[in-house]
């Protein structure tokens, strides 16, 4: 009929999620006054490597191995974050036309991660003071102290948190959580995820725990950093936000072949392309005539047609157990 018709199922589904999502506000247990006594570098370090989830995206020098966000230590040709913050603050000062101090840059990178997006990365750092991470103001301040200590001297008197961080804590952690409108069955969801012959077959491309493929990002703790709404959108509209490092490339070889996949490694002489069926192809750079970054995800775009509403809720129920 009409090729431009919006995918109705998707619209209804996402709409229902949004509509049914409001959950009664709960008062958070965290301090919302001036910085409290629990604000220490040690607490910040524990939060960074634990419940703050920073280490799921950031390494610090040789510690950790996550690459979705920049290394915050002196590594990958970068200086330590406390020193780097001074350079970034100079750059921001010039942009904003008013002086920004290094600690203000650190605060901004958490309060409003999209205000300055580090070159080579995407604007995909979550607001860690909102669900599902929901750090309270003292915890945010501790994490900032820890960042100050990486290459510099921690000084709590330089930290001023903007009102949105205090307001998020006052609203409580439940306010902006989106809830599915059917109870899914997480065990059936797990089977669907791992069944290679099933309609979803997610594990062909994603690892959970020690099982699965590596075409797409590992999902072992996806619900720890992503809301239900983000997860649903990733499944039904995968191209809306493409995870860094997992962009699709179309390569044209000098002998005229067209190949598409995710670039899984690259050196001066070679590159490796992982195709949608998980095959890793090694190519010499000299064989690649052209490379084009695509705006579509390598993840199938038709899952909302292939999966039933019940299956989608089952999958979501399973994914939400992954923290």
The whole-angstrom separation of Cα 178 and Cα 77 is 40
Closer to ligand HEC by Cβ: residue 176 or 242: 242
Whether residue 76 contacts residue 82, with contact meaning beta carbons closer than 8 Å, is answered with no
Is 81 a binding residue for ligand HEC by CB under 6 A? The answer is yes
Whether residue 179 contacts residue 23, with contact meaning beta carbons closer than 8 Å, is answered with yes
Kindly determine how many residues on this chain lie close enough to bind ligand HEC according to the rule CB under 6 A: 57
The whole-angstrom separation of Cα 251 and Cα 258 is 6
- For the record, the structure tokens of 146 come out as 């820890």
Backbone angles phi, psi at 197, to 5 degrees: -95, -5
End-to-end CA distance of the chain: 43
> For ligand HEC, which stretch binds (CB under 6 A), given 9-17, 19-27, 160-168, 209-217?
209-217
Nearest to 132 by CA among 225, 238, 205, 199: 225
Is 51 a binding residue for ligand HEC by CB under 6 A? The answer is no
Residues 97-116 touching ligand HEC, rule: CB under 6 A, are 106, 109-110, 113, 116
Nearest to 170 by CA among 8, 11, 32, 321: 32
- Site mask for ligand HEC (CB under 6 A), range 16-35, x = bound: --------------------
Hunting for tokens 């309060």 — which residue is that? Answer: 111
In the complex, what is the shortest distance from the CB of residue 68 to ligand HEC, in angstroms, rounded to a whole number? Answer: 5
Length of the chain: 323
Whether residue 102 contacts residue 82, with contact meaning beta carbons closer than 8 Å, is answered with yes
Which one among 90, 112, 124, 287 touches ligand HEC, defined by CB under 6 A?
Answer: 124
Is 250 a binding residue for ligand HEC by CB under 6 A? The answer is no
Residue 41 CA, chain-centre distance (Å), reads 25
Nearest to 257 by CA among 280, 284, 289: 289
Closer to ligand HEC by Cβ: residue 152 or 216: 216
Is 322 a binding residue for ligand HEC by CB under 6 A? The answer is no
Which one among 127, 170, 204, 291 touches ligand HEC, defined by CB under 6 A?
Answer: 204
Closer to ligand HEC by Cβ: residue 88 or 313: 88
- For the record, the structure tokens of 270 come out as 């070679």
Which one among 161, 168, 271, 299 touches ligand HEC, defined by CB under 6 A?
Answer: 299
Closer to ligand HEC by Cβ: residue 51 or 287: 51
- Site mask for ligand HEC (CB under 6 A), range 149-188, x = bound: ----------------------------------------
In the complex, what is the shortest distance from the CB of residue 140 to ligand HEC, in angstroms, rounded to a whole number? Answer: 7
Nearest to 146 by CA among 80, 92, 79: 80
The whole-angstrom separation of Cα 45 and Cα 205 is 33
Under the rule (CB under 6 A), what is the footprint of ligand HEC? 48, 52-54, 56-58, 68-70, 81, 84, 88, 106, 109-110, 113, 116-118, 121-126, 128, 143, 147, 200-202, 204-206, 215-217, 219, 222, 225, 231, 234-235, 238, 242-244, 246, 262, 276, 297-300, 303, 315
């Amino acid at each position: 009929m009409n090729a431009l018709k919006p995918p109705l199922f998707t619209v209804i589904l996402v709409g229902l999620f949004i509509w049914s999502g409001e959950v009664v506000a709960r008062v958070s247990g965290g301090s919302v006054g001036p910085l409290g006594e629990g604000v220490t570098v040690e607490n910040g370090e524990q939060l960074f490597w634990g419940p703050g989830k920073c280490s799921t995206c950031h390494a610090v020098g040789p510690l950790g191995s996550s690459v979705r966000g920049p290394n915050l230590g002196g590594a990958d040709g970068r200086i330590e974050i406390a020193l780097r913050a001074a350079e970034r603050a100079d750059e921001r000062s010039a942009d904003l036309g008013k002086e920004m101090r290094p600690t203000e840059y650190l605060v901004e990178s958490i309060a409003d991660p999209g205000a300055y997006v580090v070159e080579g990365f995407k604007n995909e750092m979550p607001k860690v003071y909102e669900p599902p991470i929901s750090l309270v103001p003292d915890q945010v301040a501790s994490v900032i102290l820890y960042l100050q200590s990486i290459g510099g001297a921690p000084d709590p008197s330089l930290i001023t948190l903007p009102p949105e961080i205090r307001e998020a804590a006052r609203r409580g952690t439940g306010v902006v959580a989106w809830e599915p409108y059917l109870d899914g069955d997480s065990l059936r969801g797990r089977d669907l995820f791992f069944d290679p012959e099933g309609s979803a077959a997610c594990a062909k491309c994603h690892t959970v725990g020690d099982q699965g493929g590596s075409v797409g990002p590992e999902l072992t703790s996806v619900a720890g950093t992503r809301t239900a709404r983000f997860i649903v959108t990733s499944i039904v509209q995968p191209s809306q936000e493409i995870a860094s490092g997992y962009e699709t490339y179309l390569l044209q070889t000098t002998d005229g072949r067209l190949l598409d996949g995710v670039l899984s490694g690259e050196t001066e002489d070679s590159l490796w392309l992982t195709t949608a069926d998980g095959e890793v192809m090694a190519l010499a750079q000299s064989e690649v005539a052209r490379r084009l970054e695509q705006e579509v995800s390598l993840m199938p775009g038709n899952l909302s047609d292939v999966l039933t509403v019940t299956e989608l809720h089952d999958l979501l129920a399973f994914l939400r157990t992954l923290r």
